[in-house]
Structure 1
């Protein structure tokens, strides 16, 4: 038997739907580690990205927020030579 605490609240359901539809602008930058070839363009454009000793990105867990943060993240995604960056 499920309890009230087990069921998603209307706010949770709306948030999930909004994220799926792209209406929520807070997201996290992620790297497809298989596709990444270590060019380092993302680290040059984004403050939350550093490179490891081989030149592959290490992404900080902070979210990308606001229109300015999304604009920079989308530019980095667009300029990635390996197409290894994405927002989730």
Structure 2
């Protein structure tokens, strides 16, 4: 699994951090997504897929 984020599309809602805090964080100054783990372990795959699904800006893409 590979995770790709589009920081330009991100609206800073933080839903990704709530769904997968080991993989996503937010910048302090503006709340834009920060990818912590481009290739997360398989045990986090469901959380990452959930994060992508709930992103209101569709700024997270998952390649299986």
Which TM bucket (shorter chain)? 0.7 to 0.9
Aligned pairs, number? 61
* 1:16-71 CA-partner distances (Å, limit 9, x unpaired): xxxxxxxxxxx2322112211111111111122111121111111351232x4211
Task: Select the structure of larger CA radius of gyration.
Answer: 1
Tell me, what secondary structure is at the counterpart of 1:37? coil
Q: Which runs of 4+ in 1 moved over 2 A?
A: none
Instruction: Give unpaired runs (5+ residues) of structure 1.
Output: 1-26
Report deviation, 1:75. Answer: 0.7
- Other-structure match for 1:34: 8
Greater relative contact order structure (CA < 8 Å, 6+ sep): 2
Instruction: Give unpaired runs (5+ residues) of structure 2.
Output: none
